[in-house]
Each structure stands twice: as C-alpha cells, then as structure tokens.
Chains A and B, each alone.
Chain A
Amino acid sequence: MRPILLRGARVLDPANGRDEVADLLFAGGLVKAVGRGLGVPDGAEILDGTGLVAAPGLVDLHAHLREPGREDVETIATGARAAAAGGFTSVCAMPNTDPVTDNQAAVGFIVRQAGLAGFARVYPIGAVSVGQKGEQLAEFGELVAAGAVAVSDDGRAVATAHLMRTALEYARTFDIPVIDHCEDVTLSHGGAMHEGLTSTRLGLKGIPRSAEDVVVARDIALAELTGGHVHFAHVSTAGAVAMIREAKARGLRVSAEVTPHHFTLTDAACEGYETNAKMNPPLREAADVAALQAALADGTIDCIATDHAPHHYDAKEAEFDNAPFGVVGLETALALALTELVGPGVLTLPQLVERMSARPAAVAHLPGGSLRPGDPADVVVFAPSAEWTVDPSRFFSKSRNTPFGGRRLRGVVQWTIVGGRVVHAAGDRPDAPNRSAR
C-alpha cells in the first residue's frame, strides 16, 4: 500500500483542537504526520486538497445493513460501500437481521463479511435479548468478545423495565452502551405517522410523541438506578430532548443521536401518502425539529446517526399503511447536515465534524474521530460548498427509499480513506464500484 500525502486541505480535527490548512501523511494504515510543507516520501500518492476539508472519517452508530436475511435490499458489502460514498469510515450494524445478531457466530459473520468487502469498517451491535424477543438476555460477554460494540433491540424498545434494568447492569461489566429505540407499542400500535393534524386529515393512525417520551423517561430512571449507559437512538420529540438535557445536567450516563431526516423534515412530508416519508419514529412537527437542532447545538444530543434502513422498491410502492418504515441515509447524511445545520448557522463546521466523528466514536468507544499521528488513517475529504442534486438511481446502496430525491444539497465527498486506503473517490459510479479501491 503506497503512502498518501494529502496536501493543502483545511484539516478539521476538533478532538485535537486543530483547524488549519496543512498536509496530512498516511502510511502503514495510520496517520503519519500532520503539518505544513511535509516532504513527499518515496512512491507516495499525492492528493491535492486545495479548497477541501479533511476531517476524521465519519462514524455512524446506527445502520441496518440487512445481511444476513435480506441481501436483496442491502448486503454488508453494499452498505459499507454506501457508507464510504457518504464519507463514513465506520458504521455500526444493528442486530435486527434474520437471524438476529444475538450470538457470537452471528457477530463474527458480520465482522468477516465487512473485512472481505474492505470499504468502511463495520462494527456489529448485538441484541439485548435472545431473538430480540424481550425475554432472556443475550450473552453480552460472547458478543463483545466476537466484536460487538454495543447492544440494542432496535426496531423495538427493550421490552420491559426489568429487562432494561438488568441489561444496563450487566452491560457495565463490558463497558458498552445499551442503545434503546424508545417506543411504547401500546401507544404506537397500528400507527403509521406522527399523530397530529396531518394524520387527522389523511386518516392515518397516529403515533403520539408520548409513545417515545414514556420510554425515555423509563430509561432515564433506570440509568439513575443502575449507573449504566443508555444511548437513545433516533430521538424525535421535543419532550425527549428536554428529559435528556435534564438527565445530563444531573450527571447521568445518557447519550443520544438524531437522524438527518428528523432534523430536516416534518410530518408534512407524508402529504400525498408519500411512503418514502414513512419512518419510525415518525417525522414530527416544526417545534420538534427546532428542539432537535437546538439539542445538537448545545450538546444534549451527542451525534448524528443515519438509521439507514434499506427497503425494496416494491415494498414502498404500496398503500401507506402497508409500506414498511425506514429510509436510506448513508449517502445523504453529510450533505443534509452541511445544508440544513451548517448553512443556517445551527452548527459551525467544526461542531458538525465533531458530532459526526469524535462524539459518536466516544459513545461506543470506537477508534477514530481523531487525526493525531498514530491514529488510524480514517479520513473524509469533502468540498463543503459544492452543490449536487440527490439522484437515488446513483446510490451505492442497493435501495432507493429516500424522501430527498431531487433535493439540491451542498457538500460533496471527494475522498474517503479507511486505514490509509482510498475506498471512495468523487465520480465513482455504482456500476464500477471498485475503481477507487487500490
């Protein structure tokens, strides 16, 4: 593998307080040097970073890569390739696969597939309960030994308060977060979108904010009881934000993520029974979007995660009630954040980089998020102001279910570098996916 010298980019490394135009040298899979006027080692590939931002590779704590079970809509390889195209160098794979990732063999399979694919790093998340059935705890020790970095029953909440309590207690031994999808199914049952005026007009059963809020409240009480680390997946309501803010002020070990669609869209996107705007938790209202953005700015919400959820075209081409929840997100997350958060001044560019790299890495104790010499050479290089139009037919993901098709966004990934190797370059096309891998 040739060394790479990235010259003259704006190096944005918030974890180390760096924001300056400099050169970056990668060799042996690691960051070798950062500084101005670095010499060119023998045989090095030179990348011209003029006008570009070089930042720690993005880290996604929440993606559904669908393998094993639904390889027709995504595989670990295509998901990891889509991640690379979106500037992500690490992506965490949720365990609601078929079969469920609830044992060491299943975790090992994901690690192996990701290694073979060789794009973004893939970190498995194990199930909290066997089969995600909400009854018996999965073997966290074996999951972690095989490579799991967190546990979650995502797709649903950890079923009972007692199970959540024991999961938080047991997870302390391994120092992993318990990631909870907060949804009281007795309140959300049969719901297809946010409960509000739009659901009333469309005649769709609503999912009230309280379906999320009551479980967030439960988990905060249990974090206090156990001292365990709860990470709140895809926060969608102003009420949840207020409770998390208060819990953090009390020093509890809670962290939280928000998805690009939740800080960008409202339930109005469901008008016309648009199934690509059907997700769980549902798109809420303008006041919730404002609260989520403010929470990202003040640090109440730690990070941005995609909840990348591929679905087959046929599945979304259905009556709204019958369409599945979820949208793909790996390839639009950075540009949505740059356009919707940095553009209007909700976050500064360094804050955004931190909330998409160092902070999520810290939540799950992952390597990455830092560009000090000796760190893994996981880097995203992007043009922060370059405009493009979202064209789902050009996604590297196998699936196209996005509500952002045709949207004009700012921010183009120029290169994604994982372990010192360029795994994505601007202009790569899905029909020739390995061109940039060298």
Chain B
Amino acid sequence: MSGALGKDLLGLEHLSADQIRLILDTAEPFKEVSERAIKKVPALRGKTIVNLFFEASTRTRISFEFAEKRLSADTVNVAASGSSVVKGETLVDTARNLEAMRIDMVVMRHGSSGAAKFLADRIVSSVINAGDGKHEHPTQGLLDLLTIRDHRPIAGTKVCIVGDVLHSRVARSNIWGLLKLGAEVAVCGPQSLLPLGIEALGVRVFRRVEEAIAWADVINVLRLQLERMQTGYIPSVREYYRVFGVTMERLERAPRDLLIMHPGPMNRGVEIDSRVADGPHSVILNQVTNGVAVRMAVLYLLAGGNPELAEAAKGAPDR
C-alpha cells in the first residue's frame, strides 16, 4: 500500500516539495468533513490503525484519533504507561507484536530520535511519525504550512521560529518544510538553545527577538520546557520572558502585521504573552483545526488513496 508518499511518513527532510504540496492540497477537501453535522467519510473503512504513544500527548493524539475516526478506520490507542513497555519490552518486540496482529498503520510518538525510522524499517505496515525525540514532527510541520498557506503564499514568506530550537522536533520539521516550499527561515533564541551549525541548513539566526520581529512575516513561538532551567540552559523563566518573550509591546513596534503561531501547549507569560496568543494575529487555534485535515490527508495518501479522488472519497455530504 505505497502511494505517492511511499510506505511511511517519518519526516519532511526527505520529502520533495511536490510531495509536501500534494499533502497540503489533499488536506483542503478534508477540511470540510470536520464542518459537517455527521463528521465521517468511508475512505479508510476496514483499515486498522494503532496509535502508539510512548510520550504523553493530548493534542496530537486526539487530533490523529479524530482524523482516523472521521475516515472510518478502526483504531486502538496504546499509551506507554500501562502497556508492555513499562514491563521492559523492547521497541523491536513491540514492533513484531504489532506486526503479528496484521495492522495497517502505526502512528507513533516516542522520546528517542530515529524511533519512527527504527520501527518503519522493521514492519511492513505504514508508520506515521507523531514526534520522535528531538528529530521531527512532520504532521505538525505540515499543519503549520497549511495554516500559513491559508493566509499567504508560502514562497517568499519570512518565518522565524523563536525559542528552544535545540530540543524541538517541531522546529526541524518546520525548517525542512518551509525551505522546500521557498520560504525564508530564521531561528531566534538564546544560543544555548540553538543547535550548533544550524546556519548550514540555510537558516538565519537572530540573537535578539526584536530583530526577529522586525524581519519576519510569521513568528512561530516554541514551547519552553520548564526543565531547561534545571539543566542550566537558561537562568530563569522570568528572565526568558523578559529577553525572548513574544509580547504585545514588541509586536507593536513591528513594521507589519505578523502571523503568530504556536504548536502548543502554551506557557502563557513565559514564551508568549496572553494578549498575543489571544490577539487578532494569532492563528493558534486555526493550526489545531488544520491538524485534523492534514492528518486525514496523510492517512488517506499512505493508505494508497488517489489524491485526485480525495473529494469523491469523502462521499456525499450528509445534510
């Protein structure tokens, strides 16, 4: 069951611009399904999908589950706590056991970079990476692209990712996706939270958030994990907000209106000011809505769905 995307979706680094556009284009007709009174189409009827979450997740897990159910797939959720993983099972054995149950797809969130590829190399079923360590979170990258595209053409748009880029899989997927679709990309944060050699990916680096805001059309604000203080990457939350917080005062000095994005969950008053998060330029909830459509598109395409038939696959709207 390999279609235009191949067997798996592990990241955006190795997708072509055309493949990324195909997913975004396929997501468009699926947006409408979620607006119906009866939010269900038969595209994945009879397919079995396991949502395997080794790390806690609310938004991504629920978003995948809605996407699967709205496509009529049969789904099972496995969380790490209460599963065989806490009993010491290795990922190889977990993979083999899933395979033995003849499932069609696995959606996996895992704390180790490369875990999705590890699984994909060992099972015949499709694997969708729902976040692997600090590596990639491709569906988040895709929903961010779709959200930008709803407002402006991606090519030529200046996007700055602000915050803990070092530990962020969201940042990496965004960087690959944006660069492939012709956006200009920058990152901004304390140098202790920026990966070594990030410029070599074709990314600008701003050390001051004011400069980033003056440059950008879109600001994508990353969540600051509070544990970064204990491990000595930054002195305090208070200081972080003071130096790198995306605040209304800073945005008011921007030369143009900026689109404000955040992958969630937000730390209000840490990386982002509540007035910004709830303000007129915030598209944070549009991102969440688009998340379901993008994941439906990915599931549909990986299951071998014909992109031209995505509209028809939805069936007649129930009114």
Contact = CB atoms under 8 A, between A and B. Distances in A.
Interface of A: 195-197, 199-206, 208, 272-273, 314, 317-322
A204 B115 CA distance: 11
A273 B118 contact: yes
Contacts of A320: 112-114
Contacts of A272: 117
Interface stretch (B99-107, B142-150, B192-200): B192-200
Given A197-B200, A203-B172, A318-B118, 18 more contacts: A195-B196, A202-B113, A202-B114, A202-B135, A203-B134, A203-B136, A204-B135, A205-B134, A208-B196, A314-B90, A317-B90, A317-B92, A318-B92, A319-B112, A319-B114, A319-B115, A320-B113, A321-B112
A272 B111 CA distance: 17
B118 A319 contact: yes
22 contacts: A199-B196, A201-B201, A202-B114, A203-B114, A203-B133, A203-B135, A204-B133, A204-B134, A206-B196, A272-B117, A273-B113, A273-B114, A314-B90, A318-B90, A318-B118, A319-B110, A319-B113, A319-B114, A320-B113, A321-B112, A321-B113, A321-B133
Nearest to B92: A317
Contacts of A197: 196-197, 200-201
Contacts of B13: 201
Contacts of B114: 202-204, 273, 319-321
Interface in B68-118: 90-92, 110-115, 117-118
Interface residues of B, number: 25
A205 B112 CA distance: 10
A369 B233 CA distance: 50
Contacts of B117: 272-273
Nearest to B111: A321
B169 interface: yes
A133 B197 CA distance: 35
Given A319-B91, A319-B110, A319-B112, A200 B196 contact: yes
B65 interface: no
Contacts of A206: 196
B164 interface: no
Contact of B112 (A196, A199, A314, A322): A322
Nearest to B114: A273
Interface string B166-190: 0001001000000000000000000
A206 B196 CA distance: 9
Contact of A318 (B91, B136, B196): B91
A319 B90 CA distance: 9
A203 B91 CA distance: 19
Contacts of A208: 196
B8 interface: no
A321 B113 CA distance: 7
A214 to B, nearest CB: 16
A322 B88 CA distance: 13
Given A202-B135, A203-B134, A318-B91, A196 B110 contact: no
B217 interface: no
A320 B195 CA distance: 19
A205 B167 CA distance: 9
Contacts of A204: 113-114, 133-135
Contacts of A201: 13, 172, 201
A307 B271 CA distance: 46
Interface string B2-16: 000000000001000
B169 to A, nearest CB: 6
Nearest to B169: A203
Of B13, B112, B169, most A-chain CB atoms within 10 Å: B112
Contacts of A314: 90, 92
Nearest to B165: A200
Nearest to B132: A203
Contacts of B118: 273, 318-319
Nearest to A208: B196
Contacts of A322: 112
A354 to B, nearest CB: 38
A200 B197 contact: yes
Contacts of A205: 134
A273 B113 CA distance: 8
Interface string B207-239: 000000000000000000000000000000000
A205 B118 CA distance: 18
